[in-house]
Structure 1
Amino acid sequence: MGDDGPVVSVVIAARDAAVTIGDQLDALARQSVDVPWEVVVCDNGSTDATAAVAESHASALPSLRVVDASAAHGAGGARNIGVEAARGSVVAFCDADDIVDDGWLAGIVAAMRDQDFVGCTWGMSRLNPEHAEGLTMGPTFRLETLPHLAFAGAGAMAVRRDVFLSAGGFDTSLPIGEDTDLSWRIQLAGTPLGEAPQAIVHIRERSELGATLRQWYRYGRAERQLRAKFAHVPAPVGAATPAGQETAGQAAELADSAKRKVRRLFRLRGWRDVAPFLQRQARRAGLRWGRIDRSVRPYDGPGSAHAERAKA
């Protein structure tokens, strides 16, 4: 947009995030960029003080708005409401329980000067001390289902608002994996997924074993659901994961290999010492046995067999 409004809208979906959202908003208050921007917090029906904590940061973030997203279905639906309310031509997403690096927004602004859709780098060590200092992942990832299409995490991406709206936003019928789904649909419609490597988001992982295993089971189930949804999108002949890119499964296996080497030198001290192995097994279980929601409509847009037949 022009001088009358923000260029970038930071959209945060939040539900019962009173404990963590303050740290995220403090991190946003430390951003320094040469374009006007705003923050849109989408309160997804919180029963705690999420909205009050967010509103208390209005003095540090004068452009902050809290919008009611209680009617939305999940985080994807809340983000959709945030994008509808956004006034910027670029929408940047981050999560209420993570912390963006001080140069995150500047990295996005720089990357979006010549790109329309980008993923951000994941910083893994700041909020998860069990990881080696400086460990990062991303900015983009791939799955074996459609290895020629990358995806970015929903809490670590930026996109032109018109591109997002043209794609239909996040699919609220998907309980998880809506970020991969959106990434694929945007690319199939003709907009490539690029990278903003200097835009770092410090990711907060689950701290309990049960929650970690449930999360990774859901990741596997999400991929199973996406396989069903995108069954009519053929991968190009000979498509393979490009050099330098990792699939989600490969990333876990690489981490597991490193852990095995460490265990040769040190005794196991807890479940985190075998976390990558457990995560991989939980993901495999979800991929094999996760329930497929048959109400999710198969993708039949650009790049699908249906669209190719229609063109013919």
Structure 2
Amino acid sequence: MSRPTCSVVIPAFNAAHLIGGQLGALAAQVGAPAFEVVVADNGSTDRLESEVLSWRDRLPGLRLVDASRGRGVSVARNVGISLAHTDRILVCDADDRVSAGWVAAIATGLSDHPLVSGPVETRLLSGRSADWVPIDRRTSALFETWGGRTYGIGCNLGLRREVWEQVGGFDESYPAGAEEIDFAWRAGELGYRFGYVEEALLHYRIRTDLRGVLRQQYNSGRGTSTLYGKFRPREVEPKTAVRRLRHELLLVTQFPWRGGQDARRSWLALMAFEAGKLIEARRLGSPAP
């Protein structure tokens, strides 16, 4: 194997049943520079190790590293990046699947930008559950949050090591949601801006079981409140207790009694997000955004 010029970091926890799809996609890359793959195991109790090691012949630059010093995707990302052998870092998740030109596109993008991200599509791996969450079936730009600030989603990310070092890594205090927004905001404060790479398509997996979707959205709501409590952006005016009550009652009254199963599950996902936001804000002692 040639000396790698970039490193793909994959945080993983109990992903033995899914990571083969991602590793297979990386083994089938087209036009990619030499790259290594670093799977950062966040303390898995399944067959992750044996599954990853079974891919070594097809991915000669594959390594499995111990990222079990703490729980969470930010811990795994930080450990994986710290142990990568190169200064161009590509980040994806164990349960998703990169497109055939993903490595080449992200690596090329990092020649021009300190941070890059690309589009995600939700249909290939998610099926009907793609309709249950507020993500476009295929995105066409960087993700956007309060005040029009943009960020790259954490499962489709490229960054130069200097950015990660200057920012101080991913904040490991976050629940599983909004940590990539926090990273992007802190990077922006230091003058680092994202570039968008249209060719860097990633197939994003939304949980196909309702319980998984609700847990995912609940954690996203928790992360949103953590983000607000940390930065308190001026453009966000937290709701008063009365406005908050009216808002939540309005959501309750919007239950789609006459809608189909997908509409009801979409409503439940929204309520899970709101619940996570309110509960985390209460725990932090800050207003809910």
TM-score, with length taken from structure 1: 0.76
Q: Match of 1:158?
A: 158
C-alpha distance in 2 between matches for 1:8 and 1:223: 31
Structure 2 residue identity aligned to 1:143: T
Q: Is the 8 A contact 1:167 1:182 kept in 2?
A: yes
Q: Match of 1:120?
A: 118
Q: Match of 1:280?
A: 270
Deviation at 1:187, TM superposition (A): 1.1
Percentage of pairs with the same residue: 34
Deviation at 1:101, TM superposition (A): 1.1
C-alpha distance in 2 between matches for 1:216 and 1:138: 22
Equivalent positions of 1:31-42 (< 5 A) are 31-42=29-40
C-alpha distance in 2 between matches for 1:185 and 1:97: 27
Q: Match of 1:90?
A: 88
Q: 1:20 aligns with which of 18, 21, 24?
A: 18
SS at match of 2:14: coil
C-alpha distance in 2 between matches for 1:58 and 1:203: 24
Q: Match of 1:255?
A: none
Gaps of 5+ in 1: 237-259, 297-312
C-alpha distance in 2 between matches for 1:84 and 1:140: 26
Q: Match of 2:182?
A: 181
Structure 2 residue identity aligned to 1:137: T
Q: 1:100 aligns with which of 98, 101, 120?
A: 98
C-alpha distance in 1 between matches for 2:82 and 2:215: 32
C-alpha distance in 1 between matches for 2:285 and 2:81: 25
CA 1:293/1:33 → structure 2, altered by over 3 Å: closer, same or farther?
farther
Deviation at 1:228, TM superposition (A): 0.7
Structure 2 residue identity aligned to 1:136: R
CA 1:292/1:33 → structure 2, altered by over 3 Å: closer, same or farther?
farther
Aligned Cα root-mean-square deviation (Å): 2.7
C-alpha distance in 2 between matches for 1:157 and 1:275: 29
Relative to its length, the structure with more helix (as a share) is: 2
Structure 1 residue identity aligned to 2:28: R
Deviation at 1:153, TM superposition (A): 1.7
Q: 1:7 aligns with which of 5, 21, 40?
A: 5
Structure 2 residue identity aligned to 1:172: E
SS at match of 1:80: helix
Deviation at 1:295, TM superposition (A): 10
SS at match of 1:91: strand
Segment drifting more, 155-164 vs 272-281: 272-281
CA deviation map 1:107-130 (0-9, x unaligned): 212322211101221111101222
Q: Match of 1:303?
A: none
SS at match of 1:174: coil
SS at match of 1:110: helix
CA 1:23/1:36 → structure 2, altered by over 3 Å: closer, same or farther?
same
Structure 2 residue identity aligned to 1:135: R
Q: Is the 8 A contact 1:125 1:135 kept in 2?
A: yes
SS at match of 2:90: strand
Q: Match of 1:206?
A: 207
CA deviation map 1:161-194 (0-9, x unaligned): 1111111111111123211111111111110122
Structure 1 residue identity aligned to 2:143: F
C-alpha distance in 2 between matches for 1:209 and 1:181: 27
Q: Is the 8 A contact 2:32 2:103 kept in 1?
A: no
Deviation at 1:79, TM superposition (A): 0.9
Gaps of 5+ in 2: 237-255
Deviation at 1:234, TM superposition (A): 4.2
C-alpha distance in 2 between matches for 1:103 and 1:9: 15
CA deviation map 1:210-259 (0-9, x unaligned): 2212221221221111111002x5459xxxxxxxxxxxxxxxxxxxxxxx
CA 1:47/1:289 → structure 2, altered by over 3 Å: closer, same or farther?
closer
CA 1:48/1:188 → structure 2, altered by over 3 Å: closer, same or farther?
same
Q: Is the 8 A contact 1:171 1:182 kept in 2?
A: yes
Q: Is the 8 A contact 2:229 2:281 kept in 1?
A: no
TM-score, with length taken from structure 2: 0.82
Deviation at 1:78, TM superposition (A): 1.0
Structure 1 residue identity aligned to 2:36: E
Q: Is the 8 A contact 2:218 2:274 kept in 1?
A: yes
SS at match of 1:73: coil
